[in-house]
A and B are shown apart, each in its own frame.
Chain A
């Protein structure tokens, strides 16, 4: 399973139960990254996808345990343990937003940054995609 999350410059994800930000270009990029496979997510995250994008996503409240090998899980509202992470892709906003829930940076321990890619978003000048992979897989 490939864990995908959007974070700000300080690894923030949510504030007051709401996502910090979203960007339609990033959603398109995510669908392209999945390369024909469904992108897994919960109902809250599905809310930011349009009707036309629905055919590319799979909505399940326990999606983290349902995704198969190599499939992407888009995580916005974290809870509970996460098993079987093959790779982590962080989409980093170009700003710092208020946060009261952060991505657990400890998940990156034992991983190495293997790729960075910069894209221009719709409402963000710059979004950096960082790919982390476990050291032993390299």
Chain B
């Protein structure tokens, strides 16, 4: 072989080897990426099948469990690197699914900024001070809560949500996830999908899915639909218009009887329904002041100042405390 031919042969061989190495590296990455996309897309398709039509009507509890509280994630989605993605707005300006693998590194390190400049689909600034303690019917409701990924005025992450859905429905789940991540340093795969009927501008509710990654769901696992309702208000979901009116019962079912006398105590109550998966609180503990006829949360500072002879422990609903002739403390606002 001539020197010139040998040079060309060696050059060709180096190029071929480089190409083969490139293929060896690139193919698994591409396959993995495609697999992740496919897994997420497949899971998303399943969560997209959740509509108000195949869920029980709102009946006084802010959320209902879906798919036995098991999220629609696939195994290949459970990774230990943090990420967050938000869907593009659709032609009607509506949000789609927000999806994240929440880790400590995504969590905010500063207070939330202003989000008032965002006007989500169906937005109306409307107050019902006689019905809603915080007056305003609608909140700019984060799909993925600020405490999880630190998203401020991201229009792809804000929907028109009732105060009730935001505070009573979504916030407890967001806090559960946030505190778990802060405590353990683990990740939680998390997706919130707003559910719209037809061309409505206001969502019927949101599907919230979460699974802790490093412990395979042992710490956090849920799949719930949170209703976008406000007790005492009727909402036109097509436009966001609203009026005062009759809504399904907002008062939870009565507390089961429990107490026994002496040292023989009833077991701690487990009232979780097997199928309906709806939560029914059994009542709250309040401290009654038999002198002033105010009632307080046990942690209220006023309780420490109260004379022992005036203290009475009461378990039941807020309404029951009021029915007994007691007024809510204005400091702890029980």
A20 close to B176 (CB less than 8 A) = yes
Chosen A-B contacts, 16 in total, with CB atoms closer than 8 Å, are: A23-B183, A81-B267, A83-B265, A95-B179, A100-B271, A102-B268, A104-B265, A104-B267, A106-B258, A106-B265, A107-B259, A108-B313, A110-B261, A113-B298, A116-B299, A116-B304
For residue B166, give the distance in angstroms from its CB to the closest CB of chain A.
13
**A-B contacts besides A82-B265, A109-B313, A113-B303, 15 pairs, CB < 8 Å:** A18-B219, A21-B176, A21-B183, A75-B268, A78-B269, A92-B298, A95-B175, A98-B172, A98-B176, A99-B279, A101-B268, A102-B269, A105-B258, A110-B261, A122-B183
A103 within 8 A of B: yes
B182 is an interface residue with CB less than 8 A from chain A: yes
- Give every chain A residue within 8 A of B43 (Cβ-Cβ): none
* Nearest-neighbor residue (CB-CB) of A113 within chain B: B298
In the complex, A106→B284 CA distance in Å? Answer: 10
Which stretch, B111-119, B157-165, B196-204, B220-228, touches the partner chain A? B220-228
A29 to chain B minimum Cβ distance, whole angstroms, is 15
A123 contacts across to B, CB distance below 8 A: 179, 182-183
Partner of B271 from A24, A82, A102, A108 at Cβ < 8 Å: A102
- Decide yes or no whether B80 CB sits under 8 A from chain A: no
The 8 closest A-B pairs by CB, nearest first: A78-B268, A106-B258, A106-B259, A105-B315, A100-B272, A123-B183, A123-B182, A109-B259
A10, B171: Cα distance in complex, Å: 14
Bound-state CA distance A42–B118 (Å) is 49
A107 touches B221 (CB 8 A): no
Which residues of chain A come closer than 8 Å to B260, judged between CB atoms? 106
A98 and B265 contact, Cβ closer than 8 Å, known pairs A16-B69, A18-B221, A21-B180:
no
Interface residue tally on A, bucketed by range: 35 or more
Near A by CB (< 8 A), chain B positions 244-271 give 255, 257-261, 263-271
- Are A107 and B266 in contact, with the CB atoms below 8 A? yes
**Which residue of B is nearest A96, CB measured?**
B172
- B266 near A128 (CB under 8 angstroms)? no
Q: Which residues of B contact A (CB under 8 A)?
A: 63, 65, 69, 171-173, 175-176, 179-180, 182-183, 218-222, 224, 255, 257-261, 263-272, 277, 279, 281-285, 287, 297-299, 303-304, 308, 311, 313, 315
**Beta-carbon contact of B172 and A112 below 8 Å:** no
Chain A's closest residue to B299 (CB) is A128
Nearest-CB residue, chain A, relative to B298: A130
Given contact pairs A92-B298, A101-B272, A18 touches B220 in the complex (Cβ within 8 A): yes
CA distance A24 to B184 in the complex (A): 9
